[in-house]
Structures are given as structure tokens and as C-alpha cells.
């Protein structure tokens, strides 16, 4: 019986010791990241914003939004669907590996995001951006002083290589990226943000009635004329 009691005491001491490993000063933290078991009351009492009424937004995995050194500042609610984290290259990365809570910027719209830690100015970066222009038609430049400058061209966190085998950038299409792609209209993927007509290059009035631009197929593709890239229906390369 004495041996069993001593064993239990030793286990209790070991578990208790884990509470003092990471928090600075007189703050305590459980071994690992099970904060909620000690901070249940804090979670339930939080009103700005209320946590317990929306657990699907504010989960009990505290380290998703908070640092262990201090509660504030913290991340703000659900992640925007604009920047994809459910799948792809950014899936499974811890929130605080991207968001820097040490600065004054909020987490909304990625204002406090630091891309540079994972995406340094190396040969891979330079090769991947060779010949690339920005949305303002400037040559690509690595802005080491702007931690989230990548978002200007990659708002969804994706970086698709141009499918030259499908739509070649040769001849009359050997133009700067932003002459065809308008990133304000969405991501580059599959030409979703491409504008072919009017202020870009191909005025409808100039081609309508010409070869291949008459009849039901043309009328169907043109529609009401509001679709920016309807040319792709027939001109896939």
C-alpha cells in the first residue's frame, strides 16, 4: 500500500511540475497546449468577443488564437475564405506561424501576416518570378520591409504557373500579366480574372460580324456582353 501511495505521489508531482515549464514569471502553463483545462472559467467569462456561444468560431484550442506568454493581442475569429487554409500548401500550418501578434496590425485581411519566414529571397523565389510583373506593371521585386507583400499578387495564397501549353504567351499575347489579368476580379486560376474585351484588347464592335463571330454560337458566348472572358469559349489557346 505504501509503495502504491508513493507511486501516486510521484505521478502527481511530475504532472504538477509540467505546469511551470513555459509561462514567464509567476504564470503557469500545463505541459503541452491543453490550456482550456485550466482556463475554462476564463473562456466562459470572455465577452469581447463572447466565446462560449460560438465554439465553432472560438474553439477551446486556445493556442489557435492566443500566445502562451499573454492573452492579448489575439487572432480575430474565423479565417477568411479568401486565403485558402483548408487545403493546399497552407493547410495544417499553425495560425501563429503566419500571423505576427507582436506588431500593431490586426489579423483581419492578413494585415499582420508574415510571409517572409517561409518564403525567403532565394533562388526558388527569383526563378519563380522571372519575368513576372506586378498589378501595376512593375517588375517583380522582393520587398523585405513589407512582411506580407506577397498578398498583393497572391490574395488566395496560391501561385499557379501560367499554363503556356493551354494558352501561350506568344505573338500578340506576349504582354505583361496585368494586361490580361485583373486581380481585383479574383484569382488568376484558369483565367477566371482575365478580361479580353473592350478596354483591354478585343473590342466587341470590331470583331462582331467577322469570321466566326456570327450566329447562335457567337450569340450564346457573348450573352449580354458582361462576361469579361467569353472569348475563351472558342479561343482556348
**Which band of pLDDT confidence, cut at 50, 70 and 90, is reported for residue 17?**
very low
* Residues ≥6 apart with Cβ < 8 Å to 54: none
Q: Does residue 68 register a pLDDT over 60?
A: yes
Percent of the residues in the chain that have a pLDDT greater than 90, as a whole number: 10
Q: Where are the domains of the chain?
A: 1-61, 79-157, 171-233
The 10s digit of each residue's pLDDT in 170-217 is 888 888 777 888 767 776 777 788 888 866 688 787 777 777 788 888
As a whole number of angstroms, the distance between CA 212 and CA 201 comes to 18
The 10s digit of each residue's pLDDT in 55-64 is 766 778 787 7
**Which band of pLDDT confidence, cut at 50, 70 and 90, is reported for residue 142?**
very high
Q: Does residue 32 register a pLDDT over 70?
A: no
**Which band of pLDDT confidence, cut at 50, 70 and 90, is reported for residue 75?**
confident
pTM above the 0.85 mark? no
Torsion sign (Cα): 167, 170, 173, 176: positive
Q: Does residue 19 register a pLDDT over 60?
A: no
Mean pLDDT value of segment 138-148: 92
Please state, rounded to an integer, the average pLDDT across all residues of the chain.
Answer: 77
Task: Give the pLDDT score at 12.
Answer: 42
Amino acid at each position: 500500500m505504501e509503495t502504491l501511495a508513493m507511486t501516486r505521489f510521484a505521478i502527481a508531482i511530475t504532472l504538477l511540475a509540467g505546469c511551470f515549464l513555459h509561462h514567464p514569471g509567476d504564470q503557469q502553463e500545463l505541459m503541452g497546449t491543453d490550456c482550456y483545462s485550466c482556463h475554462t472559467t476564463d473562456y466562459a467569462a470572455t465577452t469581447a468577443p463572447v466565446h462560449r456561444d460560438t465554439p465553432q468560431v472560438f474553439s477551446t484550442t486556445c493556442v489557435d488564437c492566443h500566445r502562451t506568454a499573454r492573452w492579448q493581442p489575439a487572432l480575430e475569429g474565423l479565417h477568411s475564405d479568401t486565403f485558402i487554409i483548408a487545403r493546399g500548401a497552407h493547410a495544417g500550418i499553425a495560425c501563429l506561424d503566419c500571423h505576427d501578434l507582436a506588431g500593431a496590425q490586426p489579423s483581419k485581411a492578413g494585415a499582420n501576416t508574415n510571409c517572409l519566414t517561409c518564403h525567403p529571397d532565394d533562388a526558388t523565389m527569383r526563378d519563380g518570378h522571372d519575368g513576372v510583373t506586378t498589378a501595376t506593371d512593375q517588375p517583380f521585386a522582393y520587398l523585405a520591409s513589407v512582411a506580407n507583400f506577397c498578398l498583393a499578387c497572391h490574395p488566395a495564397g496560391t501561385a499557379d504557373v501560367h499554363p503556356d501549353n493551354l494558352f501561350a504567351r506568344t505573338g500578340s499575347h506576349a504582354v505583361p500579366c496585368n494586361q490580361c489579368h485583373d486581380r481585383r476580379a479574383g484569382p488568376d486560376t484558369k483565367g477566371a480574372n482575365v478580361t479580353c474585351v473592350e478596354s483591354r484588347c478585343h473590342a466587341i464592335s470590331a470583331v462582331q460580324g467577322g469570321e466566326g463571330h456570327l450566329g447562335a454560337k457567337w450569340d450564346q458566348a457573348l450573352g449580354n456582353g458582361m462576361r469579361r472572358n467569353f472569348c475563351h469559349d472558342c479561343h482556348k489557346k
